[in-house]
Amino acid sequence: MSTKTEQTLANMMVTSTGVAMCDSGGRSDRGWQIAQREVEKSGLSAVDHFLAQPTVDTSWYPYVSTFHYLRDRLEVVADGSPVSAMWAEHADDHLVGLWAFAEQMDSERGVLNTYNWENSLSDEFVFAQFHYEGKDYAVLSIHRGADIRSGYSDPELFEISLYNADVFAADMDVEIYIDWDNGESSASYTYGEWYTEDEVSAEAQKMMDLLDDDQDPDVWRPAATVLGVAVTFEMMQSC
């Protein structure tokens, strides 16, 4: 059975954000429209459709599903809590409300858009993070339009479930690495931030070139992380 958090995130992914004059989605190429078509094609509910998707997709270049990324880091805040009541005063004002709420809660980082730095998410989101009565929260809106300037879902309030809330929305790079440990000595080689098929494949090959012919392959561990999610070397080679 799906959780309230999963249901909330799935709804954010498929709910129409309208057709804005400044977007480039044509008639049917906005994020919410594409998601609706994919859900209908799958024959599943929206939440089951997104749960069935891979956490990491390497069909083009390695990226992490925003649905899974947020699902693994957030829990929707239940109605009736003090912080939920404060958010309710701003919730109907969409991104303006998100901004006002961030100021009210004295968000140290302010309102941020993941589009403004390199990351490997499938979809961008706008968020504000804050600390209240011993807990860490994020109010966020997922981009579901075409052009980044418009098409954001209604914001929702979540509690950050990570042990260290400071890393939320900070671990957004692709890293390919290889570790070697034969019991006597060890070495580690790390490459980061590739976003094209050729670049990922070239760097993966460089890792294999580091191997000596007489080296026991079992002591080498070619692997990768995409936003902290482990990826097999075979998945990297498939890019």
User: CA 237 to CA 233: how far, in whole Å?
Assistant: 6
User: CA 69 to CA 60: how far, in whole Å?
Assistant: 18
Does residue 108 sit in the same domain as residue 65?
A: yes
Does residue 136 sit in the same domain as residue 221?
A: no
Check: CB of residue 156 under 8 Å from CB of residue 76. yes
Does residue 123 sit in the same domain as residue 28?
A: yes
In which domain, by residue range, is 46 found?
Answer: 4-167
Does residue 127 sit in the same domain as residue 151?
A: yes
User: CA 169 to CA 125: how far, in whole Å?
Assistant: 10
Q: Which of 167, 187, 207 is the last residue of a domain?
A: 167
Does residue 107 sit in the same domain as residue 35?
A: yes
Does residue 122 sit in the same domain as residue 215?
A: no
Does residue 63 sit in the same domain as residue 91?
A: yes
Query: Structurally, how many domains does the chain consist of?
Result: 2
Q: Which of 149, 167, 185 is the last residue of a domain?
A: 167
Does residue 224 sit in the same domain as residue 195?
A: yes
Does residue 24 sit in the same domain as residue 109?
A: yes
User: Crossing angle for the helix pair 31-42 and 4-14, nearest 10 degrees?
Assistant: 120
| CA distances (Å), origin 190, targets 60, 177, 209 | 21, 4, 14
For residue 228, the SS3 value is: coil
Does residue 15 sit in the same domain as residue 116?
A: yes
Q: Which of 129, 147, 167 is the last residue of a domain?
A: 167
Task: Give pLDDT, residue 22.
Answer: 67
Does residue 131 sit in the same domain as residue 226?
A: no
Does residue 27 sit in the same domain as residue 138?
A: yes
pLDDT in tens, the chain (239 residues): 789 999 999 999 999 998 876 677 677 889 999 999 999 999 999 999 999 998 877 676 667 889 998 998 999 998 889 999 999 999 999 999 999 999 999 998 899 999 988 777 889 999 999 999 999 999 999 999 888 888 999 999 999 998 778 778 765 555 555 454 445 544 444 444 433 445 545 555 555 555 444 444 444 444 444 445 444 444 444 44
By the 10 Å C-beta count (0-12 exposed, 13-18 middle, 19+ buried), 227 is classed as buried
Strand 156-160 to 220-226 pairing: unpaired
